[in-house]
Amino acid sequence: MLFDLLSGFDSYNMGSWSSFPLRLSFLFALILVSTLFYSTSSLLDEIYAKGAAVSWSVFKTSNGMNLSGFPLVVSSLFIFLMSVNMMGLVPFSFSVTSHLSLGPNLAFLMWGSLWVSGHRVSPNQNLTSLVPSFAPMFLVPFLLLVEIVTISSRPITLGFRLMINIIAGHLILSMGTNVNSLISLKGVLLNLSGPFYGAVYFSLFAWMGLMAAELAVGLIQAFIFCSLLSLYTNDHAN
């Protein structure tokens, strides 16, 4: 059973027939987006507007407002992660954000870009930020080593936080789906009535609750990813 649960995170599913629902949902998303050019307002337009407003509020109080192009990058990244997390909930599809090739690499790319940008603006200020102010001279080498390790761990924790939370949610959703399918199948085969149908309805509503919770997790993880990136800009050289 463990292999059955974890097999859904195998990247082989991205190139097999099981990724067909993902491609189909992406096609439907393109059709819905294309309707924005022919209509004045739609529900999808409101969703994207709310997503852009939320992503804008993330870095409004951080130093990212002073970085050229950073607000646009974070807004696009938030909508991208939100869309990918939602598409990962399509049945029999591959969850891209639960793979090592996206989360950690994307976090390292964004964090590394901020570090290189700060070093180009002011190398001295970027390096002096590694040592706390008014630190004793004999503690500077130790504090410098600790700060380097702490800063270097930021992209690791940022990427793995996204990946682990998405994996955990998908595992719980898969186990709940298996239990719900088993109960429903027994109800159909045995043609039971009374309390057993109550259990079927309860499992169905429980599965719907798990799906709603996983939708919320996908939105929250995209928000956390972008908000932490915005917090990292506070260490950027002015």
Q: Contact 59/75 with Cβ under 8 angstroms?
A: no
Establish if 201 belongs to a structural domain: yes
Rounded Cα gap, residues 158 and 103, in angstroms: 8
If one counts the domains in the chain, the total is 1
Establish if 197 belongs to a structural domain: yes
Establish if 3 belongs to a structural domain: no
Q: Give the residue, 24 or 145, on which the prediction is more confident.
A: 145
Establish if 205 belongs to a structural domain: yes
pLDDT at 22: 57
Within 13 Å of residue 151, how many CA atoms lie on the same side as its CB? 20
Looking at residues 6-22, what average pLDDT do you find? 56
pLDDT at 44: 58
Res. 21: pLDDT tops 60: no
Domain that holds residue 17: 9-235
Establish if 123 belongs to a structural domain: yes
Q: What pTM did the predictor assign?
A: 0.74
Rounded Cα gap, residues 108 and 229, in angstroms: 11
Q: Give the residue, 1 or 24, on which the prediction is more confident.
A: 24
Per-residue pLDDT reduced to its tens digit, 120-176:
877 777 777 777 777 777 777 888 888 888 888 888 998 898 888 888 887 887 777
Establish if 4 belongs to a structural domain: no
Can you read off the two tokens belonging to residue 16?
């097999």
Q: Contact 74/58 with Cβ under 8 angstroms?
A: yes
Can you read off the two tokens belonging to residue 146?
């600790």
